[in-house]
Amino acid sequence: MTFSLNMAFSDLLLLLPEIFLTCWLCVVLIVDFALPRLPKERLAYLSIAGLVITLGCLGWFDLNHVSGTLFGNMFVLDRMAIFFKVLILSATILVILASIEYVNRFTLFRGEYYCLVVMAALGMMFMASANDLLSVFVSLEFATLGFYVLVSYLRDDVASNEGGLKFFILGVFAAGLLAYGISLVYGETGKLVFSEMASAQPTPGLIIGFLLIFAALGFKIGAVPFHSWIPDTYHGAPTPVTTFLSIAPKGAAFAILLRIFLVALGTFKPLWVSLLVAVSILSMTYANIVAIAQRNIKRLLAYSGIAQVGNVLIGLAAGTKMGSDAILFYLLAYLFANIGAFAVVIAVSQAIGRDEIEDYRGLSRRSPFLAFAMLLFLLSLAGVPPLAGFIGKLYIFVAAIKEGLYTLIAVGLINIVISMYYYLIVVKQMYINEPLDPSPIAISGPMKAVIYVGLAGTLVIGIYPQPFTDWVVSATLMFANFVGPSVTVIPLGPSLGG
C-alpha cells in the first residue's frame, strides 16, 4: 500500500466541510480566549453558524453529486457519507441549542464546552467517511476523545465523574479490541480498504479479527452484550451530552458497520447473519425488560436507546440494499424523537432540578406543550402511527421479512408491546397523575426551537415519508452492487438518480 499526497487542489474540495469546520473550531476557541467577557451563548450561536454553513456545503455536494475518494481510499465521500454527516451535524446543532441554558450549570470552561462538542462532531464526520480500517480507528478515537471530557463535565458531581470514568475505561478497552482486530484482519488479508477485502477467504484469524472489530463498534452503538457503560454514563453525563451521545456516535458507528458488513463482508453474509440476529434479539429483549424497572428518565431513555439499536440491527441483519435504506430512515426518525425527548428532559430538569420519572407527575397541567411534545416523542420511539418511528419500524420489518428473518421480526414485534408499557408509564405520570406542585414550567427560547424541530420532524416524516425514503434510497445506491441482486425495486425520479 502506498500513500501518495500528490493530489490536485480540487481533491481537497471533498474535504472542504471538515477543513472549514476545523478552521471554525479554531476561530471559536480564539474568540473565547480573546474575548473573555463575551456572553457564552454568543459562542454557542457562533458554533451553530459554522455548523450551518458546513451543512449548507454538504447540501450543495449532495445536489451536485460531488463524490470521490482521497488518500488512497482511506477517505470516501459518497452520498451515504453525506447523509450521515448531515445527520451528525443536525444532531450537533440541536444539541448546542439545547445546551445553551444548561451550560450555566458548569462552574468552569463554559466556552470550551462548545468547542468540544464541535470537535466530537468533526471526529464523527470523519467516521462517516472512513473507508478503511485505519481511518476507522483514528476517527473513532478522535470522536470519542471529545466525549470523554464532555461526559465528566460536571466536575463536582459524583455521578458525572463515575459515568466519565466508566465510559473512559470501557472506551479504551474497546479501542484495544479494535486495534487488535484490525491487526488480525490486516495480517490475514494484507488489506485495509473495505472494498478490497471483499474477495478474502474466511479464515479463523479473519473471523476473530472481525468479531473483535464488531465488539468495539458494539461498544459505540451500545448493543447488548457491550452495553454495560450506557446506563451509568447516560445517567451521570450532563443531559445535553447524553442527548448527543445517544444519537450522533450511534449514527456514525452505523455508517462504519454498514460499510464493513455490506462492503467488506458482503460475501460472508451467511456467516454473520446469525451473529447479528442474536445481538439484535438480545439488545431488544434485555433492554426493554430492564427499562420497565427504571425510575430515572435518563436511564429509561438509555435502555430505550439500547432497544432501538436492537431494532436498527434488524435492518443490518437483513443485509440488503433495502435493509440499509431502512437503517438510514430509522436513524433519521430516531434523531428527531430522541433529541426531542431529551430536550423535554432538559427543560423539565431546568425547572425542577431532578430527572426522576415521578417528577413528571401532572406535567400536562404544568406545561401542556412539554407534555404533548414528550407524548409524541415517546410514542414515536414506541412506534405508534402516524409518527416517524412507526414508519421506521415498519420499513425495517419489511426489509427483514423479504429476507425471511421471521424469528427476528416476531421478537421485534413483541418488543414493541413491551416498550409500549414503559413509555406509557411516563405518559401516565404526565397526563393521568395530578401534580404535587402545580406551578407552570417556563421554557427558554432555544429549547422551544429544539422541541419544535423535533415535533416537526417526527410528524412530517410520519405523515409524508416519501421525500425521506427517496433520499435514503439514493444515499445507499452503492450497496446495490455489493449485496447481490437486490430484491428491492428502486423506482427513482429523474432528479434523484445519483
* Residues that bind other proteins in the complex, under the rule CB under 8 A: 322, 325, 364, 368, 379, 384-386, 390-391, 394-395, 397-398, 401-402, 404, 409-410, 413-414, 416-417, 420-421, 424, 427-428, 431-432, 464-466, 469-470, 473, 488-491
Residue 404 parent element (H or E): none
**Smaller CB distance to other proteins: residue 201 or 466?**
466
**Smaller CB distance to other proteins: residue 93 or 399?**
399
Minimum distance from residue 247 beta carbon to other proteins (Å) = 24
Integer CA distances (angstroms), 389 to 150, 276, 403, 420, 443, in order: 29, 21, 22, 12, 26
Minimum distance from residue 385 beta carbon to other proteins (Å) = 4
**What gap in Å lies between CA 198 and CA 275, rounded to an integer?**
19
**Smaller CB distance to other proteins: residue 55 or 370?**
370
3-state secondary structure of 76: strand
104-108-114-115 Cα dihedral, nearest 10 degrees: 170
* Grid cell in block for residue 194: 473495505
DSSP 248-305: HHHHHHHHHHHIIIIIITGGGHHHHHHHHHHHHHHHHHHHHHHHHT--BHHHHHHHHH
**Smaller CB distance to other proteins: residue 1 or 401?**
401
**Smaller CB distance to other proteins: residue 99 or 458?**
458
Minimum distance from residue 380 beta carbon to other proteins (Å) = 11
**Smaller CB distance to other proteins: residue 211 or 420?**
420
Minimum distance from residue 251 beta carbon to other proteins (Å) = 21
CB-based burial of residue 218 (10 Å sphere; 0-12 exposed, 13-18 middle, 19+ buried)? buried
Minimum distance from residue 420 beta carbon to other proteins (Å) = 5
Helices (H), 383-489: 388-402, 406-427, 445-463, 466-475, 479-482
**Smaller CB distance to other proteins: residue 353 or 493?**
493
**What gap in Å lies between CA 449 and CA 452, rounded to an integer?**
5
Minimum distance from residue 119 beta carbon to other proteins (Å) = 36
* Grid cell in block for residue 399: 426489509
**Smaller CB distance to other proteins: residue 48 or 472?**
472
Minimum distance from residue 327 beta carbon to other proteins (Å) = 14
Integer CA distances (angstroms), 235 to 203, 216, 294, 436, 438, in order: 41, 22, 11, 24, 26
* Grid cell in block for residue 292: 420497565
Minimum distance from residue 209 beta carbon to other proteins (Å) = 35
- Rounded to the nearest 5°, which phi and psi values hold at 354? -140, 160
Report the 10 Å Cβ neighbour count for 148: 16
**Smaller CB distance to other proteins: residue 50 or 392?**
392
Minimum distance from residue 112 beta carbon to other proteins (Å) = 41
**Smaller CB distance to other proteins: residue 48 or 426?**
426
Report the 10 Å Cβ neighbour count for 492: 12
- In the chain, count H helices and then E strands: 20, 2
Minimum distance from residue 200 beta carbon to other proteins (Å) = 32
